[in-house]
């Protein structure tokens, strides 16, 4: 099972790295220190330590520690800027109803901290998304076949390839029952005073890339063209399977916002390449009228 999860996570990386990137060049400050000899290759482990009890409705501060496969700490100076931040954290309950995206603060002791307030008394899952500063940038996609291979040795992550690296851990927020997630496909949503419609040219299939389009319409029915830049993109699309044991994180195709005054919409396109069949929750995060909006969809992935 463990090797399967690693394989699925690694495949999710491929989906992410197939998108045009708007990532800035490595920040000089992130690599200025001499970390030669710190070759953080292999799987990355994350631990999350709450400062107090975790419960629905209670703000809790979590301290995150990243370590490489040898147990060596991966500290903020080992990371590079990725969509305006060193570290992105996605927190979701395992019933896929409560989702948050946070940017933890880097601490002098090498840890990261952030505060969130779970809405539900349930097990949660935390996913971290980051890039290692010393990784070799890669232009191609040389990992295609290896990601579909047998990961029984557990060595195949892309932590040393200059691509997004994911690590995840459980958060024991509560022991409440998690409803079965088998909602029908849901491709329309309203949030933040806007209406969103997801279009798929064909049914999603596991292991196949599908071009999705998201149309945004204002409350009065007009195509909405004022999506604001948010972390270097007009939208962030994060998908989870039931239980949140896999995560997929992609961005729109086309040019990234050139500056803070740039605006996007009314349609954004992105590629979805789910790796496992079954229902998946997609959370699309956009910004409009100065406010962040999280829009939930449910897609059904065929076999």
Q: How far apart are CA 192 and CA 198, in angstroms?
A: 16
Distance CA 75, CA 68 (A): 10
The least distance separating Cu ion from the CB of residue 294, rounded to whole angstroms, comes to 12
Q: Closest CB to Cu ion among 82 and 94? A: 82
Q: With CA atoms as reference, report the closest residue to 247 among 255, 257, 237, 256.
A: 237
List the structure tokens of 294: 């999280």
Task: Work out how close the CB of 227 gets to Cu ion at its nearest, in angstroms, rounded to a whole number.
Answer: 14
- Cβ distance to Cu ion smaller for residue 62 or 284: 284
For Cu ion, the closer of residues 60 and 126 by Cβ is: 126
Q: Give the shortest CB-236-to-Cu ion separation in angstroms.
A: 3
In the complex, least distance from residue 155 CB atom to Cu ion, rounded to whole angstroms: 27
Nearer to Cu ion by Cβ, of 32 and 255: the residue is 255
Question: 179 to 238, contacts with Cu ion by CB under 5 A?
Answer: 236
H or E element at residue 3: helix 2-17
Q: Where are the alpha helices (DSSP H) in 157-277?
A: none
The site map against Cu ion for 230-259 (x = CB under 5 A) is: ------x-----------------------
Task: Return the residues of window 103-132 that contact Cu ion according to CB under 5 A.
Answer: none
Distance from CA of residue 61 to its chain's centroid? 20
Residues constituting the chain? 303
Return the residue nearest Cu ion (CB atom).
236
Query: Quick one: which H or E segment has residue 28?
Result: helix 28-31
In Å, what is the CA distance from 192 to each residue of 27, 242, 276, 286, 292?
A: 34, 26, 31, 10, 8
Closer by beta carbon to Cu ion, 82 or else 241: 82
Assign 130 to helix, strand or coil: strand
For the CB of residue 233, give the shortest distance to Cu ion in the complex, in Å: 6
- Cβ atoms within 10 Å of 255's Cβ, excluding its own: 11
Q: Which is closer to Cu ion, CB of 151 or CB of 236?
A: 236
Q: Toward Cu ion, which CB reaches closer, 194 or 286?
A: 286
Q: Is 134 one of the binding residues for Cu ion (CB under 5 A)?
A: no
Radius of gyration of the chain (CA): 19
Min dist CB 70 to Cu ion, Å, is 29
Tell me the closest approach of the beta carbon of residue 237 to Cu ion, in angstroms: 7
Q: Which residues bind Cu ion (CB under 5 A)?
A: 236
């Amino acid at each position: 099972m463990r090797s399967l999860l690693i394989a699925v996570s690694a495949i999710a990386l491929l989906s992410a790295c197939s998108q045009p990137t708007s990532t800035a060049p490595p920040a000089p400050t992130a690599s200025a220190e001499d970390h030669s000899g710190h070759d953080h290759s292999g799987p990355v482990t994350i631990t999350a330590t709450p400062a107090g009890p975790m419960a629905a409705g209670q703000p809790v501060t979590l301290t995150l520690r990243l370590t490489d496969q040898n147990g060596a700490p991966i500290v903020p100076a080992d990371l590079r800027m990725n969509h305006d931040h060193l570290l992105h954290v996605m927190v979701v309950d395992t019933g896929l109803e409560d989702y948050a995206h946070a940017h933890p603060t880097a601490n002098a002791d090498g840890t990261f901290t952030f505060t969130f307030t779970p809405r539900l008394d349930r097990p949660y899952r935390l996913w971290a998304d980051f890039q290692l500063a010393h990784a070799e940038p890669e232009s191609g996609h040389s990992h295609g076949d290896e990601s579909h291979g047998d990961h029984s040795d557990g060595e195949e992550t892309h932590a040393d390839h200059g691509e997004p690296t994911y690590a995840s851990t459980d958060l024991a927020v509560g022991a409440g029952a998690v409803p079965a997630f088998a909602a029908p496909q849901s491709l329309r949503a309203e949030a933040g005073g806007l209406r969103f419609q997801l279009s798929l040219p064909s049914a999603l299939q596991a292991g196949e890339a599908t071009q999705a389009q998201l149309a945004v319409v204002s409350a009065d029915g007009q195509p909405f063209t004022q999506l604001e830049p948010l972390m270097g993109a007009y939208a962030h699309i994060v998908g989870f399977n039931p239980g949140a044991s896999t995560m997929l994180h992609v961005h729109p195709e086309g040019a990234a916002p050139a500056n803070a005054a740039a605006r996007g919409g009314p349609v954004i396109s992105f590629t979805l390449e789910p790796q496992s069949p079954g229902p998946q929750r997609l959370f699309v995060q956009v910004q409009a009228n100065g406010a962040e909006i999280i829009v939930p969809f449910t897609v059904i992935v065929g076999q």
